Amino acid sequence: MTTFQGIPAGAFAFYAELEDNNNREWWLEHKDSYNTLVRDPVTALLAELEPRFGPGKVFRPNRDIRFSQDKSPYKTAQGAFAATQEGVGYYLQVSADGLLVGGGYHSHSPAQLVRFRKSVDASGTGEALRQIVDSVAAAGFAVEGEKLKTVPRGFDKAHPRAELLKHKSLSAGVELGQPDWVHTPEAAGKIAGMWDQLRPLVEWVGRHAAP
């Protein structure tokens, strides 16, 4: 197994070029570059982080264009996910914009959403989540997720955690660009530190809103 040496600058440059050449011919000509600059380093990074965060998955580069008006065949970012449960876990992404690090959950079923809202509504678990979200935001992460425009039916519009009740999914992430350390082995420790900051959010979701 390849030892993680950092994410090379060429990985970000690869996606900058792909944005202008998103076609099969260009991809086939540069597939070796994708493997060397992107897939292999990200795979090695996940392997190094696995003891602390569990096994990670590198997403496939092809887009699902069956139902999309955009027929560009390739994703313009490489995503990877270390799942603690289905749809719940830690995320990172490499693109022309740089590195993004995040965590939380994006997928949701009706039953999962019911559990999430009940836990947000309950004073103990709900206040715990509010404090986690406030702490994550204070650390510089953007709190995100699919949201309703209004408080869901059945809950008071003046609920003390109204904004959290609007969420159908909940995650937090930070866009880092290309800091000097990202090209070095030090990146593994830096990313692990950020995932540790997101661990309370991931664990709360795992206990109270997992599939």
Does a structural domain hold residue 32?
yes
| pLDDT > 90? residue 198 | yes
Contacts of residues 24-31 at CB distance under 8 Å and 24 or more positions apart, as own/partner, are 24/73, 27/73, 27/74
User: For 64, phi and psi rounded to 5 degrees?
Assistant: -90, 105
Higher pLDDT, 153 or 70: 153
Burial status of residue 187 (CB atoms within 10 A of its CB: 0-12, 13-18, 19 or more) = buried
pTM over 0.85: yes
Does a structural domain hold residue 188?
yes
pLDDT band, very low/low/confident/very high, at 150 (cuts 50, 70, 90): very high
% residues pLDDT > 90 (the chain):
89
DSSP assignment string, 91-113: EEEEETTEEEEEEEE----HHHH
pLDDT band, very low/low/confident/very high, at 152 (cuts 50, 70, 90): very high
Average pLDDT for the chain: 95
Tell me how crowded residue 3 is: count the other CB atoms within 10 A of its CB. Answer: 8
Provide the 8-state DSSP code for 141.
Answer: P
Does a structural domain hold residue 3?
no
| pLDDT > 80? residue 25 | yes
pLDDT value, residue 23: 95
Range of the structural domain that residue 61 is part of: 9-208
For 153-194, the pLDDT digits (tens) are 999 999 999 999 999 999 999 999 999 999 999 999 999 999
pLDDT value, residue 115: 94
pLDDT value, residue 47: 97
Distance CA 98, CA 93 (A): 8
Tokens 């509504």 appear where? Answer: 121
Q: What does the CA dihedral 182, 78, 143, 126 come to, rounded to 10 degrees?
A: -110
Q: What is the count of structural domains for the chain?
A: 1
| pLDDT > 70? residue 50 | yes
| Ranges of H-type helices in the chain | 9-20, 24-34, 40-53, 110-121, 123-138, 162-165, 186-208
Does a structural domain hold residue 131?
yes
For residue 145, what are the CA distances in angstroms to 30, 99, 141, 163, 176? 34, 19, 13, 11, 19
For 94-120, the pLDDT digits (tens) are 999 999 999 999 877 889 999 999 999
CATH of the domain at 201: 3.30.930.20
Q: Is 76 helix (H, G, I), strand (E, B) or coil?
A: coil
pLDDT band, very low/low/confident/very high, at 69 (cuts 50, 70, 90): confident
Which whole number is the average pLDDT over 18-22? 96
R_g over Cα of the chain: 19
pLDDT value, residue 207: 94
Does a structural domain hold residue 4?
no
pLDDT value, residue 79: 97
In the chain, the amino acid numbered 29 is E
Does a structural domain hold residue 1?
no
pLDDT value, residue 1: 59
Does a structural domain hold residue 42?
yes
Q: Buried (b) or exposed (e) across 145-167, using 16+ Cβ within 10 A?
A: beeeeebeeebeeebebeebbbb
Phi-psi region of 63 (alpha: psi -120 to 50; beta: other; left: phi over 0): beta
Does a structural domain hold residue 2?
no
